Amino acid sequence: MRLTTPTTVTVKAVGREKLELPKHLFVLAVLAIELLPFYMMLQISFKNNVMFNANPWLPILPGATLVENFRFAYHLILPYAANTIFVSVTAATANLFFAILAAYFFARYKMPFSNVLWSAFLTLMLIPSVTNIVPLFTLLKKLNLLNSLWGLIAVAVASGQVFNIFVLRNFIEDLPRDLFEAAEMDGAGHWKQIIHIVIPLSGPIIGTLFILSFLGCWNDFLMPLIILRDPQLFTLGVGLIYLDGDYAKDWGHIMAAFFMASLPLLIMFLFTMKLFIRGLSAGALKG
């Protein structure tokens, strides 16, 4: 008896491993497809056009070309990156600031027709942003905000509101009402309640929304293309397409620039991944 029991267990474990293998292979295959563009971008950034035409797929050892490509990319990208960081940080911060205020109101206060107001507000999520482009352009022109980073920020702040308020409102509604009431008895007005209760307790979700807003601004292509004219105001999204030369494409330069442009996001994501995942799963479990 003592011998048979462990044997059974081993057989079961092997059986499970056999089942796991195809799953692992599938996951690895998906991962490979996901990482292929990144791999291509990285390995091409090591090459010049001659090397690329001779060997488009396989990596080569880093050499002088790599340094030349990245030096070019660095000088090209720096002003674009500075503009992008300025726009992304300002827009994401302002976005969250206004969204928290609105979400706090919707979550904590009921007034006549507040549900109607909320529903009307949510329908904005259903309107495709592309349909707004022409009126938006006209509006920005009238406000004298065309060809200005502030114009870009204003559009980013406004367009991110609905989603952020939607997420934050649900989160704030789930915070115990007693906490707000205790703070009220302690002498906290609305501002203090937002600063001392809402923001600290919504940390993960605010962090996640900040990252999402930041990513949205960083990766935005359409709005900068429409709003910005002067090359010195370009953000990365538009700046990089001008690398796509009229007659010949210098693939090494392009890919080195693309790689450098995506590097800050990669680093940011690596450091904030835990927060990001926590934020996405917030509210999934009570307690």
Partner 1 sequence: MAKVVIENLYKIYSGEKGREVTAVDNANLVIQDREFVVLVGPSGCGKSTTLRMIAGLEDITKGDIFIDDVRVNDVPPKDRDIAMVFQNYALYPHMTVYKNMAFGLELRKFPKAEIDKRVRDAAAILGLTDDMLERKPKALSGGQRQRVAVGRAIVRKPKVFLFDEPLSNLDAKMRVQMRTEISKLHTRLATTMIYVTHDQVEAMTMGDRIVVMKDGVIQQQAAPLEIYNNPANAFVAGFIGSPAMNFLNGTIVEKSGDLYFAEDSAANGALLKLEPEQARKADAYLGRSVIFGIRPEDLQDRLYVANSDPGHTFSVTVEVIEPMGAETYLYLTTGAHSLISRSQVQLKVEVNSTIELVANIKRAHLFDAARKSDFAKPNGELDTDKWHAACPLIF
Q: Which residues bind partner 1 (CB under 8 A)?
A: 176, 178-179, 181-189, 192, 196-197, 200-201
Residue 17 burial (C-beta neighbours within 10 Å; 0-12, 13-18, 19+): exposed
Looking at beta carbons only, is 6 or 200 nearer to partner 1?
Answer: 200
Instruction: Give the residue with the Cβ less far from partner 1, 108 or 264.
Output: 108
Nearer to partner 1, 168 or 228 (CB): 168
User: Shortest distance, CB of residue 234 to partner 1, whole angstroms?
Assistant: 41
Locate 257 and state its tokens. 């620039």
Contacts of the segment 242-249: beta carbons below 8 A, 24+ positions apart: 243/76, 248/49, 249/49
CA 202, CA 33: separation in Å to the nearest integer?
35
Residues 6+ apart with CB under 8 A from 65: 46, 47, 48, 51, 252
Closest distance between partner 1 and the C-beta of residue 200, in Å? 4
Spell out the alpha helix ranges (H) of the chain: 4-44, 49-54, 64-108, 114-123, 133-142, 149-174, 177-186, 190-193, 199-201, 203-219, 222-227, 236-241, 251-280
Whichever of 6 and 187 has its CB closer to partner 1, that residue is 187
Closest distance of CB 208 from partner 1, Å: 17
| 47 close to 252: Cβ distance less than 8 angstroms | yes
Q: In the complex with partner 1, which residue's Cβ is closer, 55 or 114?
A: 114
Among residues 158 and 201, whose Cβ is nearest to partner 1?
201
Judged by CB, which is closer to partner 1: 91, or 107?
107
Least gap, CB of 87 to partner 1 (angstroms): 32
Residue 234 and residue 80 in contact, taking contact as beta carbons nearer than 8 Å: yes
| Shortest Å, Cβ 80 to partner 1 | 39
CB of 151 to partner 1, least distance (A): 38
CB of 272 to partner 1, least distance (A): 19
Query: What three-state secondary structure class fits 47?
Result: coil
In Å, what is the CA distance from 252 to each residue of 34, 98, 134, 179, 185? 21, 42, 37, 57, 64
